[in-house]
Each structure stands twice: as C-alpha cells, then as structure tokens.
Amino acid sequence: MKIERFEDIEAWKLARTLTSRVYDVTDQGAFARDFGLRDQIRRAAGSVMHNIAEGFDAGSNAEFVRFLQYAKRSCTEVQSQLYVTLDRKYVTASEFKTLYEQTRLVRAKTGAFIKYLILNPKP
C-alpha cells in the first residue's frame, strides 16, 4: 500500500487509538482529578501521533526518521507513566496491560517503519 497521507501510516493509526484510550481512562475517577499526571500522559500519548504526522511532511527520510524517533520516545514516556497510574490505583491491572500493550505495539510499528525508511531512502 502506498502512503499518500499521514493517516495511511499504520503506526499513526495505532497511536491514534492509544491516544483515545488514554483520554478515556484519564476521564475516570481519581485519575481525572490528578491534573498533573492526567495532562502529562495525555500530552505524551498525543505526541506520539503528532510526531508521526509532523514527520510525514519533513521532506526527507532522515528528517522523518528523526520525528519517528521522537514518537518512539513518547511511547516509552507513556509506558513509564502507566506504572504511576497503576501504583496510584488509577487503572486496574487489566487496563494497565491493555494500554501498555497498545503502547508496545505502537513502538514496534514505529521502529519497523524507521528501519524501512533507513533501508529505502528517497531518490
């Protein structure tokens, strides 16, 4: 499949799902009142999809890869923050597992896309 828009990128689609799930869980209970953590994990999740989209228009594979690396780092930030949410009992173990797995999947797809871009530079 040819990628013509950033919305065609599988990693972006998965990141969008992650962001939506993060927003859903942060709207609940005590989590919704922990403004600092709520806002930080939302920003980090949003950063994943936004960096993928922004990198799409970067103009070169090297620049795109740089933005994808930012997206991967934001995934890792979300993973770390998820431990805080679990420790504070803002999420159940099941919710943690689901969100963590979604983040792991986004990281993996983003990493695979980075490898593809490095191995297939634009002419």
Mean pLDDT, consecutive 10-residue stretches, the chain (123 aa), reads 91 98 97 97 98 94 96 98 98 97 98 94 71
Residues 6+ apart with CB under 8 A from 92: none
Residue 1 has a pLDDT of: 67
Residue 122 has a pLDDT of: 72
pTM of the model: 0.94
Tell me which residue range forms the domain holding 72.
7-119
Is 1 among the domain residues?
Answer: no
Any long-range contacts for 26-30 (C-beta under 8 Å, 24+ apart)? 28/90, 29/90, 30/88, 30/89, 30/90
Q: How many other β-carbons are positioned within 10 Å of the β-carbon of residue 75?
A: 28
Q: What is the largest CA-CA distance in the chain?
A: 52
Q: How many domains does the chain have?
A: 1
Residue 71, Cβ density class (10 Å: 0-12 exposed, 13-18 middle, ≥19 buried): buried
Is 28 among the domain residues?
Answer: yes
Residue 123 has a pLDDT of: 62
Residue 28 has a pLDDT of: 95
Residue with tokens 């979604």: 102
Q: How many other β-carbons are positioned within 10 Å of the β-carbon of residue 77?
A: 18
Q: Coil, helix or strand for 120?
A: coil
Which CATH number is 78's domain given?
1.20.1440.60
